[in-house]
């Protein structure tokens, strides 16, 4: 099971991940064409800042996902293969219960469609668009099982050495 990991120290709040995410979830998948699409391409990652600190905020695909539990229409579900939390927009009715229960505030609203929008870990890609795009390597896409404390240190030094 692979998930996205963040090293907040490396984030410069350039928002490249936000743009890459929106483009990846558009029809044309082109930075020139996609911005004028309807419905508007939306990002699922949000780079936030507070007191000079920066952090990209993602869906964590929680083990006990409140959005899946609370969904009143069966739209939010856990993909049996990847264990990612996904939104089946054909079932979404835009009641926004998921927006109300997500502790991280990462379920968005596609207003033109009236549907919930969230991170799907880019199922068509080997590595999510945000991770690939990050110019400072603040984002990593790794197996959770292998990402123990020791591994984290290795990654930290590898990243620090420009790896």
Q: Which residues bind another protein (CB under 8 A)?
A: 3-9, 45-46, 48-51, 53, 55-61, 64, 66, 69-70, 72-74, 77, 91, 93-109, 114, 119, 121, 128, 140, 144, 147, 152-153, 155-156
Nearer to another protein, 12 or 27 (CB): 12
Nearer to another protein, 23 or 118 (CB): 118
Backbone angles phi, psi at 97, to 5 degrees: -60, -35
CB of 32 to another protein, least distance (A): 27
Task: Please give the structure tokens belonging to residue 16.
Answer: 């490249």
CB of 100 to another protein, least distance (A): 4
Q: What is the 3-state secondary structure (H, E, C) of 36-67?
A: HCCCCCCCCCEEEEECCEEEEECCCCCCCCHH
Question: Among residues 107, 92, 111, which one has the least CA distance to residue 39?
Answer: 111
Diameter over CA atoms, the chain: 48
Nearer to another protein, 33 or 156 (CB): 156
């Amino acid at each position: 099971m692979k998930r996205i990991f963040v090293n907040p120290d490396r984030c410069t709040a350039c928002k490249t991940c936000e743009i890459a995410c929106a483009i990846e979830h558009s029809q044309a998948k082109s930075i020139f064409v996609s911005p004028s699409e309807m419905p508007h391409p939306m990002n699922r990652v949000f780079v936030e800042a507070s007191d000079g600190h920066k952090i990209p905020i993602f869906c964590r695909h929680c083990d006990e996902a409140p959005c899946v539990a609370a969904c009143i229409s069966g739209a939010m579900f856990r993909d049996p293969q990847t264990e990612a939390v996904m939104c089946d927009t054909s079932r979404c009715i835009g009641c926004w219960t998921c927006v109300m229960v997500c502790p991280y505030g990462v379920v968005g609203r596609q207003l033109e469609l009236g549907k919930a929008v969230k991170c799907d870990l880019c199922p068509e890609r080997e590595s999510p668009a945000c991770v690939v795009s990050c110019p400072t390597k603040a984002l990593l896409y790794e197996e959770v099982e292998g990402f123990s404390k020791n591994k984290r240190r290795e990654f930290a030094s590898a990243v620090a050495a420009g790896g």
